[in-house]
């Protein structure tokens, strides 16, 4: 089919295709087979043809870090807001709902995510409560993190905000990081530099939410 010897399921013709790899806009047709793009080029045979009449065709956008609870929207309404504007995947740290509703709140969002036209990936919250001085609706320890990492679409550990705990070797913090080895571990290291930053990175943390 990609060679043009069999008809595609769908051809999007006369598209202005945004090529994000080379930063150019190409004129052409896009052949689709099943749920895959089979090719871009001179395709004109398909079970269905849609003439885009020169409209732009772009890859879906990925929001690499968000907290969807901050939108104050139900997951379905959130998808309704962002999908028409081009965002097709989000990676969300459920830190906020976890601090209010615990595992029950996390499960609510994960269950809803399976029903949406939006790919929603999750980070298991690492700091619930956010600090030992904070009053929260739940506590999430190492065993809860291990359980979350087996849940659908959970890809890693959310931003490790307790950087003093990392640097001081707090077992509760480090055990969550150890439990998350082999997955993505997000960081949160405001003001760290030099040897302290080196130590934070050495703990196995991949990124820094505070970088600009």
Q: What is the CATH number of the domain that holds 52?
A: 2.30.40.10
Does 67 have pLDDT greater than 70?
A: yes
> Is 1 a member of any domain?
no
Q: Are 63 and 70 in contact (CB under 8 A)?
A: no
CATH number at residue 154: 3.20.20.140
State residue 134's pLDDT score: 73
Residues 31, 107, single domain; the answer is no
Residues 53, 128, single domain; the answer is no
The H or E element spanning position 155 is strand 154-160
Residues 105, 199, single domain; the answer is yes
By C-alpha distance, which of 118, 182, 119, 112 is closest to 150? 182
Q: Are 140 and 176 in contact (CB under 8 A)?
A: no
> Is 151 a member of any domain?
yes
Which range marks the domain in which residue 40 is found?
8-57
Residues 71, 26, single domain; the answer is no
Residue 114 forms beta bridges with which residues? none
Pairing, β 8-19 against β 56-57: parallel
d(CA 75, CA 131): 27
d(CA 109, CA 107): 5
> Is 92 a member of any domain?
yes
Place of tokens 């895959």: 36
- Give 150-174 pLDDT, tens digit per residue: 999 999 999 999 999 999 999 999 9
State residue 158's pLDDT score: 96
Express as a percent the part of the chain with pLDDT over 70: 100
Residues 67, 50, single domain; the answer is no
d(CA 68, CA 75): 8
- Give the number of other Cβ atoms within 10 Å of residue 125's Cβ: 29
State residue 131's pLDDT score: 77
State residue 53's pLDDT score: 96
Q: Is 30 exposed, middle or buried (0-12, 13-18, 19+ CB in 10 A)?
A: buried
């Amino acid at each position: 089919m990609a060679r043009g010897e069999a008809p595609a399921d769908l051809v999007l013709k006369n598209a202005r295709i945004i090529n994000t790899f080379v930063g150019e806009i190409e004129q052409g047709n896009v052949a689709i087979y099943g749920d895959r793009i089979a090719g871009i080029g001179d395709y004109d045979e398909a079970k269905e043809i849609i003439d885009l009449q020169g409209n732009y065709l772009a890859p879906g956008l990925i929001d690499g870090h968000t907290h969807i609870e901050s939108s104050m929207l139900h997951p379905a309404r959130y998808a309704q807001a962002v999908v028409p504007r081009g965002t097709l995947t989000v990676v969300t740290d459920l830190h906020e709902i976890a601090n209010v509703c615990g595992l029950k709140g996390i499960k609510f969002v994960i269950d809803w995510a399976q029903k949406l036209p939006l790919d929603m990936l999750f980070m298991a919250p690492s700091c619930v409560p956010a600090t030992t001085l904070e009053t929260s609706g739940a506590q999430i320890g190492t065993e809860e993190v291990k359980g979350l990492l087996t849940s659908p679409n959970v890809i890693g550990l959310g931003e490790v905000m307790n950087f003093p705990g990392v640097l001081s070797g707090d077992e509760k913090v480090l055990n969550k990081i150890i439990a998350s080895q082999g997955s993505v571990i997000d960081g949160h290291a405001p003001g760290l530099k030099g040897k302290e930053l080196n130590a934070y990175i050495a703990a196995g943390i991949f990124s820094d939410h505070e970088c600009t």
